[in-house]
Protein backbone atom coordinates (compact mmCIF):
# COMPACT_ATOMS: atom_id res chain seq x y z
CA UNK A 1 0.00 0.00 0.00
CA UNK A 2 2.83 2.44 0.74
CA UNK A 3 4.26 2.04 -2.75
CA UNK A 4 0.80 2.63 -4.26
CA UNK A 5 0.43 5.82 -2.20
CA UNK A 6 3.88 6.96 -3.32
CA UNK A 7 2.85 6.39 -6.94
CA UNK A 8 -0.33 8.47 -6.53
CA UNK A 9 1.65 11.30 -4.90
CA UNK A 10 4.22 11.23 -7.71
CA UNK A 11 1.50 11.43 -10.38
CA UNK A 12 -0.25 14.31 -8.59
CA UNK A 13 3.04 16.19 -8.22
CA UNK A 14 3.67 15.87 -11.95
CA UNK A 15 0.30 17.42 -12.75
CA UNK A 16 -2.44 16.93 -15.35
CA UNK A 17 0.06 16.68 -18.23
CA UNK A 18 1.27 13.30 -16.99
CA UNK A 19 0.71 10.55 -19.58
CA UNK A 20 0.57 6.98 -18.31
CA UNK A 21 2.75 4.39 -20.10
CA UNK A 22 1.04 2.28 -22.74
CA UNK A 23 0.22 -1.41 -22.35
CA UNK A 24 3.11 -2.32 -24.65
CA UNK A 25 5.58 -0.15 -22.73
CA UNK A 26 4.52 -1.72 -19.45
CA UNK A 27 4.92 -5.19 -20.93
CA UNK A 28 8.32 -4.64 -22.53
CA UNK A 29 10.53 -1.62 -21.78
CA UNK A 30 9.51 -1.09 -18.17
CA UNK A 31 9.82 -4.78 -17.36
CA UNK A 32 13.33 -4.84 -18.81
CA UNK A 33 14.25 -1.69 -16.91
CA UNK A 34 12.89 -3.07 -13.64
CA UNK A 35 14.67 -6.35 -14.22
CA UNK A 36 17.94 -4.48 -14.67
CA UNK A 37 17.41 -2.56 -11.41
CA UNK A 38 16.55 -5.75 -9.54
CA UNK A 39 19.58 -7.49 -11.03
CA UNK A 40 21.88 -4.73 -9.78
CA UNK A 41 20.26 -4.83 -6.34
CA UNK A 42 20.65 -8.61 -6.10
CA UNK A 43 24.26 -8.45 -7.31
CA UNK A 44 25.08 -5.91 -4.58
CA UNK A 45 23.56 -8.18 -1.93
CA UNK A 46 25.40 -11.25 -3.20
CA UNK A 47 28.71 -9.39 -3.20
CA UNK A 48 28.35 -8.91 0.58
CA UNK A 49 28.17 -12.63 1.26
CA UNK A 50 31.93 -13.14 1.06
CA UNK A 51 32.39 -11.02 4.21
CA UNK A 52 29.06 -11.21 6.05
CA UNK A 53 27.85 -14.61 4.89
CA UNK A 54 24.17 -15.43 4.47
CA UNK A 55 21.43 -17.56 5.99
CA UNK A 56 19.40 -19.98 3.89
CA UNK A 57 15.67 -20.09 4.65
CA UNK A 58 12.99 -22.28 3.14
CA UNK A 59 9.22 -22.36 3.18
CA UNK A 60 6.57 -24.68 1.72
CA UNK A 61 3.26 -23.37 0.44
CA UNK A 62 0.32 -24.44 -1.72
CA UNK A 63 -1.18 -22.30 -4.48
CA UNK A 64 -4.80 -21.83 -5.52
CA UNK A 65 -4.56 -24.89 -7.76
CA UNK A 66 -3.28 -27.03 -4.86
CA UNK A 67 0.22 -27.27 -6.30
CA UNK A 68 2.96 -27.54 -3.71
CA UNK A 69 6.03 -25.28 -3.85
CA UNK A 70 9.27 -25.07 -1.91
CA UNK A 71 10.74 -21.57 -1.87
CA UNK A 72 14.32 -20.77 -0.89
CA UNK A 73 15.56 -17.35 0.25
CA UNK A 74 19.01 -16.11 1.29
CA UNK A 75 19.23 -13.41 3.97
CA UNK A 76 22.14 -11.12 4.83
CA UNK A 77 22.29 -7.63 6.40
CA UNK A 78 22.12 -6.13 2.91
CA UNK A 79 18.74 -7.74 2.30
CA UNK A 80 16.88 -10.93 1.39
CA UNK A 81 17.17 -12.55 -2.04
CA UNK A 82 14.64 -14.98 -3.47
CA UNK A 83 16.79 -17.78 -4.92
CA UNK A 84 14.42 -20.37 -6.34
CA UNK A 85 11.01 -21.98 -6.21
CA UNK A 86 10.57 -25.71 -6.76
CA UNK A 87 7.19 -27.16 -7.77
CA UNK A 88 7.09 -30.56 -6.07
CA UNK A 89 3.43 -31.51 -5.72
CA UNK A 90 3.97 -35.23 -6.34
CA UNK A 91 6.97 -35.72 -4.05
CA UNK A 92 7.01 -36.70 -0.39
CA UNK A 93 8.57 -33.88 1.61
CA UNK A 94 10.97 -36.04 3.61
CA UNK A 95 14.07 -34.71 5.33
CA UNK A 96 16.29 -36.30 2.68
CA UNK A 97 14.22 -34.77 -0.11
CA UNK A 98 14.40 -31.30 1.45
CA UNK A 99 18.13 -31.76 2.03
CA UNK A 100 18.65 -32.40 -1.69
CA UNK A 101 16.64 -29.29 -2.60
CA UNK A 102 18.61 -27.06 -0.23
CA UNK A 103 21.97 -28.59 -1.17
CA UNK A 104 21.34 -27.77 -4.83
CA UNK A 105 20.81 -24.11 -3.90
CA UNK A 106 23.78 -24.01 -1.52
CA UNK A 107 26.07 -25.44 -4.19
CA UNK A 108 24.76 -22.91 -6.72
CA UNK A 109 25.55 -19.85 -4.58
CA UNK A 110 28.70 -21.33 -3.03
CA UNK A 111 28.74 -23.24 0.25
CA UNK A 112 31.53 -20.98 1.51
CA UNK A 113 29.02 -18.10 1.56
CA UNK A 114 26.47 -19.89 3.75
CA UNK A 115 26.71 -19.58 7.54
CA UNK A 116 23.47 -21.16 8.73
CA UNK A 117 20.27 -22.82 7.60
CA UNK A 118 17.15 -21.64 9.45
CA UNK A 119 14.23 -24.05 9.47
CA UNK A 120 10.84 -24.13 11.09
CA UNK A 121 10.14 -26.73 13.77
CA UNK A 122 8.73 -29.42 11.48
CA UNK A 123 10.56 -32.74 11.80
CA UNK A 124 11.34 -33.02 8.08
CA UNK A 125 13.08 -29.64 8.01
CA UNK A 126 14.87 -30.52 11.24
CA UNK A 127 16.28 -33.68 9.67
CA UNK A 128 17.20 -31.78 6.50
CA UNK A 129 19.22 -29.34 8.61
CA UNK A 130 21.10 -32.16 10.33
CA UNK A 131 21.91 -33.80 6.98
CA UNK A 132 23.18 -30.48 5.61
CA UNK A 133 25.47 -30.09 8.63
CA UNK A 134 26.86 -33.55 7.90
CA UNK A 135 27.64 -32.50 4.33
CA UNK A 136 28.95 -29.01 5.17
CA UNK A 137 30.55 -29.03 8.66
CA UNK A 138 30.96 -25.23 8.65
CA UNK A 139 27.20 -24.62 8.22
CA UNK A 140 25.10 -24.78 11.38
CA UNK A 141 21.37 -25.33 11.69
CA UNK A 142 19.04 -23.21 13.81
CA UNK A 143 15.30 -23.29 14.29
CA UNK A 144 13.11 -20.25 13.74
CA UNK A 145 13.05 -18.56 17.16
CA UNK A 146 9.80 -16.71 16.46
CA UNK A 147 8.12 -20.03 15.69
CA UNK A 148 9.58 -21.44 18.92
CA UNK A 149 8.05 -18.61 20.97
CA UNK A 150 4.68 -19.16 19.30
CA UNK A 151 4.87 -22.88 20.13
CA UNK A 152 5.72 -22.09 23.76
CA UNK A 153 2.69 -19.81 24.08
CA UNK A 154 0.59 -22.57 22.50
CA UNK A 155 1.94 -25.10 25.04
CA UNK A 156 1.10 -22.80 27.94
CA UNK A 157 -2.39 -22.11 26.59
CA UNK A 158 -3.14 -25.81 26.16
CA UNK A 159 -1.59 -27.11 29.40
CA UNK A 160 -2.15 -24.39 32.03
CA UNK A 161 -5.90 -24.22 32.89
CA UNK A 162 -5.95 -20.81 34.59
CA UNK A 163 -4.10 -19.21 31.67
CA UNK A 164 -6.44 -20.83 29.16
CA UNK A 165 -9.50 -19.54 31.03
CA UNK A 166 -8.26 -15.93 30.99
CA UNK A 167 -7.35 -16.18 27.29
CA UNK A 168 -10.75 -17.67 26.41
CA UNK A 169 -12.63 -15.04 28.45
CA UNK A 170 -10.66 -12.25 26.79
CA UNK A 171 -11.35 -13.70 23.35
CA UNK A 172 -15.07 -13.93 24.17
CA UNK A 173 -15.13 -10.24 25.15
CA UNK A 174 -13.43 -9.16 21.94
CA UNK A 175 -15.54 -11.46 19.76
CA UNK A 176 -18.73 -10.10 21.36
CA UNK A 177 -17.73 -6.49 20.78
CA UNK A 178 -16.75 -7.03 17.16
CA UNK A 179 -20.05 -8.80 16.50
CA UNK A 180 -22.02 -5.84 17.91
CA UNK A 181 -20.96 -2.71 16.09
CA UNK A 182 -22.88 -0.34 18.37
CA UNK A 183 -21.00 -1.60 21.43
CA UNK A 184 -17.71 -1.50 19.56
CA UNK A 185 -18.39 2.08 18.50
CA UNK A 186 -19.17 3.10 22.09
CA UNK A 187 -16.00 1.42 23.33
CA UNK A 188 -13.94 3.33 20.75
CA UNK A 189 -15.61 6.61 21.72
CA UNK A 190 -15.01 6.14 25.46
CA UNK A 191 -11.58 4.47 25.34
CA UNK A 192 -10.13 5.91 22.13
CA UNK A 193 -8.41 2.53 21.64
CA UNK A 194 -8.73 -0.56 19.47
CA UNK A 195 -9.09 -4.09 20.83
CA UNK A 196 -6.67 -6.58 19.30
CA UNK A 197 -8.17 -9.55 17.49
CA UNK A 198 -7.12 -13.17 18.01
CA UNK A 199 -5.15 -14.92 15.25
CA UNK A 200 -5.49 -18.68 14.93
CA UNK A 201 -1.98 -19.03 13.52
CA UNK A 202 -0.20 -16.61 15.88
CA UNK A 203 -0.62 -17.72 19.49
CA UNK A 204 1.24 -14.68 20.83
CA UNK A 205 -1.81 -12.68 19.71
CA UNK A 206 -3.43 -13.97 22.94
CA UNK A 207 -1.08 -11.69 24.87
CA UNK A 208 -1.79 -8.64 22.69
CA UNK A 209 -5.53 -9.27 22.96
CA UNK A 210 -5.42 -9.36 26.77
CA UNK A 211 -3.15 -6.32 26.91
CA UNK A 212 -5.59 -4.30 24.79
CA UNK A 213 -8.47 -5.28 27.09
CA UNK A 214 -6.54 -4.24 30.20
CA UNK A 215 -5.95 -0.84 28.61
CA UNK A 216 -9.73 -0.43 28.55
CA UNK A 217 -10.40 -2.12 31.89
CA UNK A 218 -12.71 0.44 33.49
CA UNK A 219 -14.95 0.72 30.45
CA UNK A 220 -15.44 -2.96 29.67
CA UNK A 221 -16.30 -5.19 32.61
CA UNK A 222 -16.34 -5.53 36.38
CA UNK A 223 -14.80 -8.85 37.44
CA UNK A 224 -11.97 -8.62 39.95
CA UNK A 225 -10.70 -12.17 39.45
CA UNK A 226 -10.51 -11.77 35.67
CA UNK A 227 -8.55 -8.52 35.89
CA UNK A 228 -6.19 -9.85 38.54
CA UNK A 229 -5.20 -12.89 36.50
CA UNK A 230 -5.18 -10.99 33.19
CA UNK A 231 -2.68 -8.50 34.62
CA UNK A 232 -0.62 -11.36 36.00
CA UNK A 233 -0.46 -12.94 32.54
CA UNK A 234 0.61 -9.66 30.93
CA UNK A 235 3.41 -9.15 33.47
CA UNK A 236 4.47 -12.78 33.13
CA UNK A 237 4.45 -12.88 29.33
CA UNK A 238 5.95 -9.45 28.69
CA UNK A 239 9.63 -10.56 28.60
CA UNK A 240 8.73 -13.42 26.26
CA UNK A 241 6.90 -11.06 23.92
CA UNK A 242 10.03 -8.89 23.91
CA UNK A 243 11.89 -11.92 22.58
CA UNK A 244 9.27 -12.34 19.87
CA UNK A 245 9.44 -8.67 18.89
CA UNK A 246 13.22 -8.90 18.76
CA UNK A 247 13.33 -11.79 16.33
CA UNK A 248 10.01 -11.57 14.45
CA UNK A 249 11.13 -9.52 11.49
CA UNK A 250 14.03 -8.86 9.19
CA UNK A 251 17.24 -8.10 11.02
CA UNK A 252 20.56 -9.46 12.23
CA UNK A 253 19.55 -10.36 15.79
CA UNK A 254 21.89 -13.26 16.61
CA UNK A 255 23.91 -11.08 19.01
CA UNK A 256 20.86 -10.28 21.15
CA UNK A 257 18.73 -13.44 21.31
CA UNK A 258 20.49 -15.34 24.10
CA UNK A 259 20.36 -12.34 26.45
CA UNK A 260 16.65 -11.77 25.76
CA UNK A 261 15.82 -15.43 26.43
CA UNK A 262 17.91 -15.39 29.62
CA UNK A 263 15.99 -12.33 30.87
CA UNK A 264 12.74 -14.21 30.34
CA UNK A 265 14.12 -17.22 32.17
CA UNK A 266 15.25 -15.10 35.14
CA UNK A 267 11.87 -13.34 35.41
CA UNK A 268 9.95 -16.60 35.26
CA UNK A 269 12.19 -18.22 37.87
CA UNK A 270 11.41 -15.37 40.27
CA UNK A 271 7.68 -15.80 39.63
CA UNK A 272 8.05 -19.52 40.24
CA UNK A 273 9.78 -18.91 43.56
CA UNK A 274 6.92 -16.65 44.69
CA UNK A 275 4.19 -19.07 43.61
CA UNK A 276 5.61 -22.47 42.58
CA UNK A 277 2.22 -24.17 42.47
CA UNK A 278 0.97 -21.72 39.85
CA UNK A 279 4.10 -21.17 37.77
CA UNK A 280 6.40 -24.21 38.03
CA UNK A 281 4.78 -26.04 35.10
CA UNK A 282 5.09 -22.93 32.91
CA UNK A 283 8.80 -22.78 33.71
CA UNK A 284 9.15 -26.46 32.77
CA UNK A 285 7.51 -25.80 29.40
CA UNK A 286 9.88 -22.88 28.86
CA UNK A 287 12.94 -25.02 29.66
CA UNK A 288 11.77 -27.65 27.15
CA UNK A 289 11.29 -25.14 24.34
CA UNK A 290 14.33 -23.04 25.27
CA UNK A 291 16.89 -25.55 24.06
CA UNK A 292 14.73 -27.41 21.56
CA UNK A 293 13.16 -24.58 19.56
CA UNK A 294 14.69 -21.20 20.45
CA UNK A 295 18.45 -21.35 20.90
CA UNK A 296 21.51 -22.83 19.27
CA UNK A 297 24.85 -23.05 21.07
CA UNK A 298 26.12 -20.36 18.67
CA UNK A 299 23.69 -17.79 20.12
CA UNK A 300 25.51 -17.73 23.48
CA UNK A 301 28.80 -17.10 21.68
CA UNK A 302 27.10 -14.42 19.58
CA UNK A 303 26.03 -12.56 22.74
CA UNK A 304 29.59 -12.73 24.04
CA UNK A 305 30.84 -11.36 20.70
CA UNK A 306 28.39 -8.48 21.11
CA UNK A 307 30.91 -5.97 22.56
CA UNK A 308 28.38 -4.03 24.63
CA UNK A 309 27.27 -7.19 26.45
CA UNK A 310 30.80 -8.50 26.97
CA UNK A 311 32.20 -5.16 28.12
CA UNK A 312 29.44 -4.75 30.72
CA UNK A 313 30.18 -8.29 31.97
CA UNK A 314 26.69 -9.49 31.13
CA UNK A 315 28.28 -12.42 29.30
CA UNK A 316 31.64 -13.69 30.41
CA UNK A 317 34.18 -15.98 28.82
CA UNK A 318 33.80 -18.48 31.68
CA UNK A 319 30.04 -18.89 31.06
CA UNK A 320 29.55 -22.57 30.16
CA UNK A 321 27.19 -21.86 27.24
CA UNK A 322 29.53 -19.18 25.88
CA UNK A 323 32.49 -21.57 26.04
CA UNK A 324 30.49 -24.30 24.28
CA UNK A 325 29.52 -21.84 21.55
CA UNK A 326 33.09 -20.64 21.05
CA UNK A 327 34.36 -24.24 20.89
CA UNK A 328 31.71 -24.99 18.26
CA UNK A 329 32.87 -22.00 16.23
CA UNK A 330 36.51 -23.05 16.56
CA UNK A 331 35.82 -26.62 15.44
CA UNK A 332 33.27 -25.98 12.71
CA UNK A 333 33.86 -22.52 11.24
CA UNK A 334 37.66 -22.21 11.25
CA UNK A 335 40.46 -23.80 9.31
CA UNK A 336 42.97 -25.72 11.48
CA UNK A 337 45.63 -23.09 10.79
CA UNK A 338 43.38 -20.32 12.13
CA UNK A 339 42.53 -21.86 15.50
CA UNK A 340 45.60 -20.78 17.49
CA UNK A 341 45.20 -17.16 16.39
CA UNK A 342 41.48 -17.35 17.16
CA UNK A 343 42.20 -18.51 20.73
CA UNK A 344 44.80 -15.78 21.31
CA UNK A 345 42.57 -13.06 19.86
CA UNK A 346 39.74 -14.18 22.15
CA UNK A 347 41.99 -13.52 25.14
CA UNK A 348 42.84 -10.09 23.77
CA UNK A 349 39.15 -9.29 23.30
CA UNK A 350 38.21 -10.65 26.73
CA UNK A 351 40.91 -8.57 28.44
CA UNK A 352 39.27 -5.42 27.03
CA UNK A 353 42.54 -4.26 25.52
CA UNK A 354 42.44 -0.42 25.75
CA UNK A 355 43.93 -0.16 22.28
CA UNK A 356 40.76 -1.84 20.99
CA UNK A 357 38.28 -0.48 23.53
CA UNK A 358 39.33 3.15 23.23
CA UNK A 359 37.09 6.19 23.65
CA UNK A 360 35.86 6.11 20.05
CA UNK A 361 35.08 2.39 19.96
CA UNK A 362 33.33 2.58 23.35
CA UNK A 363 31.19 5.42 22.03
CA UNK A 364 30.35 3.45 18.88
CA UNK A 365 29.55 0.40 21.00
CA UNK A 366 26.58 2.20 22.57
CA UNK A 367 24.70 2.80 19.34
CA UNK A 368 26.18 0.75 16.49
CA UNK A 369 25.07 -2.76 15.60
CA UNK A 370 27.72 -5.20 16.93
CA UNK A 371 28.55 -6.30 13.38
CA UNK A 372 29.29 -2.68 12.44
CA UNK A 373 31.44 -2.28 15.57
CA UNK A 374 33.56 -5.25 14.55
CA UNK A 375 33.93 -3.95 11.00
CA UNK A 376 35.24 -0.64 12.38
CA UNK A 377 37.30 -1.82 15.36
CA UNK A 378 38.30 -5.46 14.95
CA UNK A 379 41.16 -5.06 12.48
CA UNK A 380 43.86 -6.01 15.00
CA UNK A 381 42.06 -9.34 15.58
CA UNK A 382 41.46 -10.47 11.97
CA UNK A 383 40.41 -14.08 12.61
CA UNK A 384 38.05 -13.17 15.45
CA UNK A 385 36.78 -10.21 13.42
CA UNK A 386 35.97 -12.43 10.44
CA UNK A 387 34.04 -14.90 12.60
CA UNK A 388 32.25 -12.20 14.62
CA UNK A 389 31.04 -10.37 11.51
CA UNK A 390 29.63 -13.56 9.99
CA UNK A 391 27.94 -14.76 13.19
CA UNK A 392 26.51 -11.36 14.12
CA UNK A 393 25.19 -10.81 10.58
CA UNK A 394 22.69 -13.65 10.86
CA UNK A 395 18.98 -13.49 11.74
CA UNK A 396 17.21 -15.75 14.24
CA UNK A 397 14.06 -16.54 12.32
CA UNK A 398 12.79 -17.39 8.87
CA UNK A 399 10.38 -14.46 8.47
CA UNK A 400 12.07 -13.30 5.26
CA UNK A 401 10.88 -16.54 3.69
CA UNK A 402 7.58 -17.03 5.51
CA UNK A 403 5.62 -14.52 3.44
CA UNK A 404 2.15 -14.75 2.02
CA UNK A 405 2.86 -16.20 -1.41
CA UNK A 406 -0.71 -15.65 -2.64
CA UNK A 407 0.39 -12.50 -4.46
CA UNK A 408 3.03 -14.54 -6.26
CA UNK A 409 0.36 -17.09 -7.10
CA UNK A 410 -1.99 -14.42 -8.46
CA UNK A 411 0.78 -12.99 -10.63
CA UNK A 412 1.06 -16.33 -12.40
CA UNK A 413 -2.62 -16.78 -13.29
CA UNK A 414 -3.65 -16.48 -16.92
CA UNK A 415 -6.26 -13.83 -16.19
CA UNK A 416 -3.74 -11.48 -14.58
CA UNK A 417 -0.53 -12.27 -16.41
CA UNK A 418 0.18 -11.39 -20.03
CA UNK A 419 3.96 -11.14 -19.79
CA UNK A 420 6.03 -13.00 -22.32
CA UNK A 421 7.15 -16.46 -21.12
CA UNK A 422 10.82 -15.50 -21.21
CA UNK A 423 10.05 -12.60 -18.86
CA UNK A 424 8.63 -15.02 -16.31
CA UNK A 425 11.51 -17.45 -16.63
CA UNK A 426 14.16 -14.84 -15.81
CA UNK A 427 15.17 -14.79 -12.16
Q: By C-alpha distance, which of 252, 253, 234 is closest to 243?
A: 253
Fold of 36-143+401-425: Nucleotidyltransferase; domain 5 (3.30.420)
Q: What is the average pLDDT across 111-130?
A: 89
**Average pLDDT estimate for 67-91:** 87
Write down the domain spans for the chain.
Answer: 36-143+401-425, 147-294, 297-392
Position 167 pLDDT exceeds 90: no
- Which strand (E) or helix (H) includes residue 83? strand 79-87
Map residue 378 onto helix, strand or coil: coil
How many C-alpha atoms does 191 have within 13 Å on its Cβ side? 19
100-113: average pLDDT? 95
SS3 386: helix
Q: How many CB atoms lie within 10 A of CB 20?
A: 8
pTM of the model: 0.79
94 has a pLDDT exceeding 50 = yes
Query: Is the model's pLDDT at 273 over the cut of 60?
Result: yes
The number of C-alpha atoms within 13 Å of 211 and in the hemisphere containing its C-beta is 12
- Do the bridges between strand 114-119 and strand 140-143 make them parallel or antiparallel, or are there none, so unpaired? parallel
For 339-375, the pLDDT digits (tens) are 999 999 999 999 999 999 999 999 999 999 999 999 9
- Dihedral of CA atoms 130, 132, 136, 141 in degrees, nearest 10, equals -60
Q: How confident is the model at residue 201 (pLDDT cuts 50, 70, 90)?
A: very low
Q: Are 268 and 243 in contact (CB under 8 A)?
A: no
The model's pLDDT over 238-268, given as tens digits with 9 standing for 90+, comes to 898 888 888 887 788 999 999 999 999 999 9
List phi, psi (to 5°) of 73: -130, 145
Amino acid sequence: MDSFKDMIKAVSNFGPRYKAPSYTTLQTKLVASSRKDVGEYVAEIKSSWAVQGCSIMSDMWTDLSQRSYINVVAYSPKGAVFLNSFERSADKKTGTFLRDILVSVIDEIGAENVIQVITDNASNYGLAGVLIMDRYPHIYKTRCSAHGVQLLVKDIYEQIPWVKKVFDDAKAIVDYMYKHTNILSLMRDFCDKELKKFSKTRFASHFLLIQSIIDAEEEIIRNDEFWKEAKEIVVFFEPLIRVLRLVDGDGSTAGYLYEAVEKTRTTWKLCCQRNPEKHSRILELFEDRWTLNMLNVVHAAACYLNPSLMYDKKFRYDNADVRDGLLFIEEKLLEPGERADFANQLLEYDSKNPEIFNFMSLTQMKSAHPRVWWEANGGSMPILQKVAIKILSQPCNASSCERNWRAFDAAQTKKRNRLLPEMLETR
